[in-house]
Chains A and B, each alone.
Chain A
């Protein structure tokens, strides 16, 4: 398979995660202090590098069939989780992830927390917040890079996609010095959910012994079919929401009238 779809999939997935990490880092750094924030970020990046260095090669020792079965199952479950949230958000059944309000929440919490020096870090609160934010969002990046990279035998291409996403989001964050609220996060999550689910289904079934019609070319059909199915669920849920709202309206007016 061409490396471009791999790079693009990892890039989009990592942009979403990097935007969320950036919101936490900016809220901490701008409200409290940058030095401890950077220390927290650096510590998280070291942990992520160790995890990648340990888990990545270990997974690649698995036989390809077993690797595809396990990774395919994990990716399909993980992807469906993303897709489910994106569909619920697109239909109003779940609140949209709002970077601006997330930023304000973090700022409010950062402003009230007390400053305490610990273990050579001048502001422990900034350190731990940046560390946790970068580590948790970064773990998803590592998971995607390792699973996609190992399966395609091209961890380098996956790493390029992830690195490019982090660089682009960091530069954008430095340029605007504010959370990236204009990023269409839910639609990116929807796209990534479609890709993770499609690749997970493809690799998982291969791992279970299936031979796809057309081999790798089956993905060119599977990806749009998964996207269409998810879009159909959006229309279905919008219809369900509208029917419920219409059914609730007369009851409300009766109450008002009485």
Chain B
């Protein structure tokens, strides 16, 4: 059990890293893009880049808000 936990923790840290909210935002952005593209027939190519910039800004803001 200990090894499975360590294995999972390694991959979590490897892919997700310090801020899990970035991963959640990217996945949510992709899901919304798929919904808009397939259900609403809207070619929402602009959505994911906006989500990515927002996720980076949000993560940086949270990381630096209480420092210095």
Quick one: which of A128-160 are within 8 Å of B by CB? 139-140, 143
Please, how many angstroms separate the alpha-carbon atoms of A80 and B23 in the complex? 9
For B49, list chain A residues within 8 Å (CB).
201, 205, 222, 225-226
Q: Which residues of B contact A211 (CB under 8 A)?
A: 43, 45
What does the 1/0 interface line of B29-68 toward A look like (CB < 8 Å)? 0110110011000011101110011011101100110011
Q: How many Å from the CB of A221 to the closest CB on chain B?
A: 10
Binding site for B on A (CB under 8 A): 69, 72-74, 76-78, 80-81, 83-85, 87-88, 91, 93, 139-140, 143, 197, 201, 204-205, 207-213, 218, 222, 225-226, 229-230, 233, 237, 240-241, 244-245, 248
The answer to whether A208 and B60 touch across the interface, beta carbons within 8 angstroms, is no
Pick the 4 closest A-B CB pairs, nearest first: A209-B37, A81-B17, A208-B34, A208-B33
Interface of B is mostly: helix
Do A210 and B45 touch across chains, with their CB atoms under 8 A apart?
yes
CA distance A209 to B19 in the complex (A): 27
* Chain A residues whose C-beta falls within 8 Å of the C-beta of B67 in the assembled complex: 93
| A81, B60: Cβ atoms closer than 8 Å | no
Determine the residue in chain A with the shortest Cβ distance to B17: A81
A248 partner residues in chain B, CB cutoff 8 A: 68
Are B33's CB and A210's CB within 8 A? Answer: yes
A160 to chain B, nearest CB (A): 24
Known interface pairs A69-B30, A204-B30, A205-B48. Does A244 touch B68 (Cβ–Cβ under 8 Å)?
Answer: yes
Q: Which residues of A contact B38 (CB under 8 A)?
A: 209
Pick 14 A–B contacts, CB within 8 A, sort by A. Answer: A76-B52, A84-B17, A84-B22, A93-B68, A140-B14, A205-B30, A210-B33, A210-B43, A213-B45, A218-B45, A222-B49, A225-B49, A226-B53, A237-B64
Closest residue of A by beta carbon distance from B31: A208
